[in-house]
């Protein structure tokens, strides 16, 4: 039943202008970056920065707006013989898949043409994972907030925190604690930011620890590349599962 609803949610979004614009933007940026640098690795690094910046932002804002724009329809569906869990999961998966399709075309295709390496594939995979993570967080913000303005505001705060604030705080904490052994702290701080985890996952493939930042480099030292990748993947899975589970838990009890 859920997949049937996913099909309609996803199909509806894919016919919209926003997803079309998102795909076009990604395509343009990817081709631009690969053609400017000459070296595909440089192109990938440029694309990585772009993806880490844009994917969370677009996923958060789009998914929250989608929830509020579909509110009346979600109400109508909730009045049908359907479990709330099915209904919300179908929405989350539908939005995630539509945005993923956009990414596969927008950066997947250029990477396939210019840089089809493990690193390139990792970048695509990581951007898909970030889409799921931030769509899940967006739905969590949406079911928590009372109205559209607060929902989108919360989503933007989430983005602001993970994209900008978290790194500053990390440095500050590490600076404060510099007299103590920092392995555990820095590893936890890294795990607390899905965007950092994504960055480290890609850079581990490239083996350029200079770009990994303090926490990333420390993780490579501590865990080594193989365990590091396993750790980051496991934590990112948690970043998808926990927000979705919380959003469903709240939505089941929510007055629509």
Partner 1 sequence: MLDAKNLTKSYGRLRALDALTATLRQGQAIALIGPNGAGKTTFIKCVLGLVRPDAGELTLDGASLLGDPALRSRIGYMPQIGRFPDHLRVGQLFDLMREIRRGTHTRTDDDLYKAFQIDRIAHQTTRTLSGGTRQKVSACLAFLFDPDVLVLDEPTAGLDPVSVEVLKEKVRAERARGKLILLTSHILSDLDEIATDVLYLIDGKAQFYRPIGELKSQSGETRLGRIIAKIMRNSTTTTLEEKTP
Cα distances (angstroms) measured from residue 42 to each of 37, 72, 109, 111 = 6, 46, 17, 12
Provide the minimum distance between the beta carbon of 73 and partner 1 in the complex, in angstroms, as a whole number. Answer: 5
Name the minimum Å distance from CB 80 to partner 1.
Answer: 5
Which residue lies nearer to partner 1 by CB, 92 or 187? 92
Residue 12 or 27: the one with the smaller Cβ distance to partner 1 is 12
Kindly list the residues in this chain that would bind partner 1 in the complex (CB under 8 A).
Answer: 1, 4-5, 8-9, 11-13, 15-16, 69-73, 75-84, 253, 255-256
In the bound state with partner 1, the residue whose beta carbon lies nearer, of 71 and 172, is 71
SS3 of residue 53 by DSSP: helix
What minimum distance in Å lies between the beta carbon of 156 and partner 1?
Answer: 23
The Cβ of residue 113 has, within 10 Å, a number of other Cβ atoms equal to 13
- The residue among 42 and 148 lying less far from partner 1, judged by its C-beta, is 148
In the chain, the DSSP E strands lie at none
Which of 77, 133 has the CB closer to partner 1?
77
Minimum CB–partner distance for residue 151 and partner 1 (Å): 17
Query: Toward partner 1, which CB reaches closer, 79 or 210?
Result: 79
Q: Which two tokens stand for residue 32?
A: 């631009």
Q: Which residue bears the tokens 């994972």? A: 129
CA atoms within 13 A on the CB side of 107: 28
DSSP string, 180-221: S--HHHHHHHHHT-HHHHHHHHHHHHHT-GGGTHHHHHHHHH
Give least dist CB 17 to partner 1, A: 9
C-beta of 246: minimal distance to partner 1 in Å?
18
Q: Is 125 or 144 the residue whose CB approaches partner 1 more closely?
A: 144
**Shortest Cβ 96–partner 1 spacing (Å):** 16
d(CA 168, CA 164): 7
- Measure Cα distances from 249 to 89, 140, 146, 246 in Å: 11, 10, 16, 5
Q: Helices (H) and strands (E) in the chain — how many of each?
A: 12, 0
Distances (CA, A) of 70 to 88, 90, 144, 211: 12, 13, 16, 41
């Amino acid at each position: 039943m859920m997949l049937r609803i996913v099909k309609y949610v996803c199909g509806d979004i894919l016919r919209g202008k926003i997803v079309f614009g998102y795909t076009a933007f990604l395509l343009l940026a990817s081709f631009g970056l690969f053609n400017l640098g000459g070296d595909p690795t440089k192109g990938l690094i440029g694309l990585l920065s772009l993806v880490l910046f844009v994917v969370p932002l677009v996923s958060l804002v789009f998914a929250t707006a989608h929830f509020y724009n579909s509110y009346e329809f979600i109400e109508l569906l909730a009045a049908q013989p359907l479990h709330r869990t099915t209904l919300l999961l179908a929405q989350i998966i539908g939005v995630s898949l539509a945005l993923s399709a956009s990414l596969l075309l927008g950066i997947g295709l250029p990477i396939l043409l210019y840089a089809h390496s493990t690193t390139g594939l990792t970048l695509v995979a990581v951007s898909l994972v970030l889409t799921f993570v931030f769509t899940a967080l967006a739905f969590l913000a949406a079911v928590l907030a009372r109205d559209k303005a607060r929902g989108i505001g919360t989503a933007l705060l989430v983005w602001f925190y993970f994209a900008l604030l978290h790194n500053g705080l990390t440095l500050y904490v590490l600076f404060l604690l510099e007299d103590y052994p920092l392995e555990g702290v820095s590893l936890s701080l890294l795990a607390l930011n899905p965007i950092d985890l994504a960055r480290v996952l890609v850079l581990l493939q490239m083996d350029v620890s200079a770009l990994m930042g303090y926490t990333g480099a420390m993780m490579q030292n501590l865990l080594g590349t193989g365990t590091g990748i396993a750790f980051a993947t496991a934590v990112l899975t948690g970043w998808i599962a926990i927000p979705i589970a919380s959003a469903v838990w709240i939505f089941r009890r929510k007055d629509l």
